Amino acid sequence: MCDAKYNLWFQSSQAIAKRLSRPKRRDDAEGDQVKVLHVISSVDPRGGGPVEGVFSSSEVWFRHGHERHIVSLDPPRAPWVATARAPTRAVGPDGALYRLARAWLPWLRYGYTPRLVGWLRANAPNYDAVIVNGLWNYASFGAWRALRRGQTPYFVFTHGMLDPWFNRAYPTKTFFKRIFWRLFERRVLRDAAGVLFTCEEERRLAGQSFQPYRAREFVVGYGTRDVSGDPEAQRAAFFAHAPGARGRRLVLFLSRIHEKKGVDLLVAAFARSAVAHPDVDLVIAGPDQSGLRQELTAIAERLGVADRIHWPGMLTGEAKWGAFRAADIFVLPSHQENFGIVVAEAMALGRPLLITDKVNIWREVEADGAGIVVKDDLEGVAEGLQRALALTADERERMGAAARRSFENRYDLEKNALQLLDIIVSATQGATARA
């Protein structure tokens, strides 16, 4: 359940959404109010971190008197558009014919819509800045086409999409990305008022993927909202989704079930520890967007641990927070992770962490004593899980307390959302002065 402040914000955002097609012009703005437009491929919450980050930080901006709107490539009648937690204008194609064509035409899978450029050219002057979220889809190139000669500066959040891991993991896609980079994406970054990275590791890796690379780089704070509510009610909400997990010690994975997340490593690593820890179960929570669950279940059955793994699906709200609270340890064994909003959420609730050194905030987690960091292979994850399960209750409590302190110092969205605002205002003023 949302708190009262969030309900107020949500109601207000829906009112704003009704006039999104004709937003208030900047010269009508009162005081120091800042008005920013986000461009993103989709506001479907199953997309994970990027859209969640936009939604969560929007609430902070709203409470400080600023506005955020979204334009997405979603079909206007997509159900997640109507329930979006920020005022959203969807400009994508719609209808049964489009859905059928999208399955066969690469240009439509890329997200092309003829409405985006015109809408941005007409409406961008009403905003102080535009933030483009992500690369490799028409949201970025379309925004560049619309904004590169305009007076409204735009910024780009790469969201880890320039990590060199993707080049190694998907060589065929990388071949086409190199073409797109030369033709389109490098220009998107080159002409931006700023390219935004969520941590230093992401910034360091970004320049290694494609050449030529030119960008005005900023490392900005990132994170999540602090969590409130009744802990026991939240645990009960979680156990309603996973009743067999009640009374067990739990290892929690909560994220998209995708090959880059290393869930197969976690299942195999859990099997190695299962005999020594018969009171421990594994929870794998999240949307199965690529159909991996069947394969993972087969692995678990072969290793004899299928009856100790719980699959509650995608958890939201109270059930999600309850899953964190019920867990002894949170595990994210990713092969690539730009930031990991779920890591910050686990830290907010004082959960000890087990992550790989491919989660880009691993250095900070290790420095703060907030968790165990391992290599992203079976030996690393298995050894880390054995260490985590061998912790005493006092050791888990101390590590969880360190995780909570790290969240407060580094990943509290209240501070980081305002830091982003300061960077946008400063960079915008600098660009205006240079012009």
Give the pair of three-digit tokens for residue 246.
């009640």
Does position 3 have pLDDT exceeding 60, yes or no? Answer: no
66 with 86, same domain? yes
Query: Out of 4-13, 83-92, 330-339, 416-425, which region has the weakest mean confidence (pLDDT)?
Result: 4-13
Q: Are residues 426 and 366 in the same domain?
A: no
- Structural domain including 205 reads 4-225+413-434
pLDDT, one tens digit per residue, over 212-260 is: 999 999 998 788 888 999 999 999 999 999 999 999 999 999 999 999 9
- Number of Cβ within 10 Å of residue 239's Cβ equals 19
117 Cβ contact partners less than 8 Å away, ≥ 6 residues apart: 142, 145, 146
Q: What mean pLDDT do residues 309-337 have? A: 97
Place 1 in a pLDDT band, splitting at 50, 70 and 90. very low
Model confidence at 414, pLDDT cuts 50, 70, 90, reads: confident
Residue tagged 């000890």 (tokens)? 352
372: β partners: 354
**Confidence at 100, pLDDT banded by 50, 70, 90:** low
**Two tokens at 256?**
């998209």
CATH number of the domain that residue 428 is part of: 3.40.50.2000
Confidence of residue 105 (pLDDT cuts 50, 70, 90): low
Band (pLDDT 50/70/90 cuts) for residue 97 is low
Same-domain pairing of 400 and 419: no
| Distances in whole angstroms, Cα of residue 95 to Cα of each of 42, 101, 142 | 17, 10, 22
122 plus 216 within the same structural domain:
yes
**Which pLDDT tens digit goes with each residue over 144-184?**
999 999 999 999 999 989 999 999 989 999 999 999 999 99
Q: What is the pTM of this model?
A: 0.78
Considering 29-38, 90-99, 212-221, 258-267, the range whose residues carry the highest mean pLDDT is: 258-267
| Integer Cα distance of 83 and 80 in angstroms | 5
Question: pLDDT tens-digit profile of 196-207?
Answer: 998 899 999 999
Size (the chain), residues: 435
Q: Residues 261, 369: one domain?
A: yes
The C-alpha atoms of residue 319 and residue 238 are separated, in whole angstroms, by 4
Provide mean pLDDT across the span 32-42.
Answer: 92
Q: Confidence band (pLDDT; 50, 70, 90) for 59?
A: confident
- Cα separation, 422 vs 409, in Å, equals 18
Same domain membership, residue 203 and residue 60: yes
**Residue 280 pLDDT exceeds 60:** yes
Q: Are residues 281 and 395 in the same domain?
A: yes
Mean pLDDT, range 410-432, rounded to an integer = 80
Note whether 89 and 202 are same-domain residues: yes
Cα separation of 200 and 391, whole Å? 30
Q: Which residue has the higher pLDDT, 289 or 430?
A: 289
Task: Pick the more confident residue, 209 or 17.
Answer: 209
Strand pairing category for 217-219 and 309-313: unpaired
Count of structural domains, the chain: 2
Question: Token pair of 141, please?
Answer: 């190139």
Same domain, 121 and 44: yes
Residues 386 and 331 in one domain: yes
Q: What's the number of CA atoms in the CB half-sphere (13 Å) around residue 213?
A: 13
Of all helices (H) and strands (E), which one includes residue 326? helix 317-326
One domain, residues 216 and 203: yes
The two tokens of residue 326 are 């019920």
Q: Are residues 75 and 147 in the same domain?
A: yes
